[in-house]
Amino acid sequence: MSSLFDAIAAFYRKHRVWCHIAFWLLVLFIGSLELYFFNNTYQLSFGATLLFDFLVEQGKIPTTYFVVYGLFPLVMDKKRYVLAFVLFFLGTYFIFVFSGILRFYFFPLLGLYFTYPASIGAVFLDFKQYYTVHLFSNLGGAAGFLLVKLIINHYEVRQKAILLEKQKTEIELKLLKTQLNPHFLFNTLNNIYALSLMQSTATSAAIARLSEILDYILYRCNTPTVPLSKEVVLLENYIALEKLRYDERLKVHLTIDIEVEIPIAPLLLLSIVENAFKHGAGEEIGQPLIDISLATSAKSITFKVENSYSGHRIEENRAPIGLQNLKHQLEIIYPEQYDLQISQTSDRFIVQLNIYNSI
């Protein structure tokens, strides 16, 4: 149904003038059919009935546009109530006079001679006809036209709001996804430089891993979801490069148990691993330890990262910035479909993410 409304709204925006012309022609045609078949007192031909109906009802057209596009915005947008009130009576009165003059000169062409309007002067002075017939009849048409316009405007405003919200969400996600820790890049480049000075055989492998990470983040994950296996490769490359900063004192255990290849929003898991290295291995004195496990079932993804740490206990409402950004992304991408648990013991910081119904 929404696609039908979208098509109608798009067609209306592109052919607005022709839509208005078609609307009034349809109104005239339907009114003429009613007169010709059910109220043809003067035995007019259908062509003459069309002209007769136009002369009788043509005041509705200028009255409608005057009220809808002139007075309505004046009242709603500018709050000029007194001015709108005065212009309403002046405008509708002159439309009434103009319509009466048209009927005075064109009715005889149809062979119709009525007592009204008997003269041009009668047109200007017949206030009773203005109030009892012209004003309320034409305002009824304006009210119907205004209702249609408000419905169309409401739909267009709603669609614009949806589009703006979608664009806002996409911008937020792009900003969040680009927050790869710059210290990681700086340290990795320094480590690769050091390896090159030592002419280490690991230099080319490190460069290849860094190149693959950057290529993936910049070009390969610009879709709403990616295969989970691709994220695993990203994590393996990231871990391998981070381990260059440490000797054998850093222990990283990575356990992967993927039963089902499940699509996932890109870079979510990397945020958790980054946090473990930054606030675990990066601040740990001694032998830091990071345990990472990833498992899937037909209905969920479970990702758990534990890192050792020393120092003050982290307050629950003051989670690291990376995890705060992760929560923001999850709210946008997986509303009510995830569970993020952050806990800590005397020497361990634990983050567990469950994503449900992600297939």
Spell out the per-residue pLDDT of the chain, length 359, in tens: 556 666 776 777 788 888 888 888 887 888 788 777 877 666 777 777 777 777 777 777 887 788 778 777 777 777 777 887 788 778 777 877 787 777 777 777 666 655 455 567 766 766 666 666 666 666 666 766 777 777 666 666 776 766 666 666 665 555 555 555 566 777 788 888 888 888 888 888 889 988 998 888 878 877 888 899 999 999 999 898 888 877 677 889 999 998 888 899 888 898 889 888 877 766 656 678 899 999 998 889 999 999 987 665 555 444 566 687 788 888 888 888 999 999 888 888 899 999 997 54
Exposure string of 51-78, with b = 16+ CB inside 10 Å and e = fewer, is bbbbbebbbbbbbbebbbeebbebeeee
Which tokens sit at 78? Answer: 């500018």
What are the C-alpha distances in Å from 73 to residues 25, 190, 262, 271?
26, 64, 53, 50
| pLDDT value of position 201 | 81
What are the C-alpha distances in Å from 355 to residues 333, 334, 335, 336?
11, 8, 10, 9
Please state, in angstroms and rounded to a whole number, the distance separating the CA atoms of residues 2 and 98: 42
| pLDDT value of position 110 | 64
| pLDDT value of position 71 | 76
| pLDDT value of position 354 | 95
- Report the DSSP pairing between strands 251-258 and 289-296: parallel
Q: How many other C-beta atoms lie within 10 A of the C-beta of residue 139?
A: 17
Strand segments, DSSP code E, in the chain are: 226-227, 251-258, 263-264, 289-296, 300-308, 338-344, 348-356
Please state, in angstroms and rounded to a whole number, the distance separating the CA atoms of residues 332 and 105: 67
Q: Can you list the domains of the chain with their CATH numbers? A: 2-174 (no CATH), 178-356 (3.30.565.10)
| pLDDT value of position 117 | 57
Q: Which of 263, 216, 265 is nearest to 238 (CA)?
A: 216
Please state, in angstroms and rounded to a whole number, the distance separating the CA atoms of residues 7 and 21: 19
Q: Which of 203, 216, 206, 227 is nearest to 301 (CA)?
A: 227
Judge whether 273 and 238 are in contact, CB under 8 Å: yes
- Report the DSSP pairing between strands 348-356 and 338-344: antiparallel
What are the C-alpha distances in Å from 227 to residues 118, 128, 172?
83, 77, 22
- Bridge partners, 60 (sequence order): none
Please state, in angstroms and rounded to a whole number, the distance separating the CA atoms of residues 112 and 250: 103
Query: How many whole angstroms from its chain centre is CA 66?
Result: 33
- Torsion angle (degrees, nearest 10) of CA 128, 129, 134, 139: 20
Helix (H, G, I), strand (E, B) or coil at 276: helix
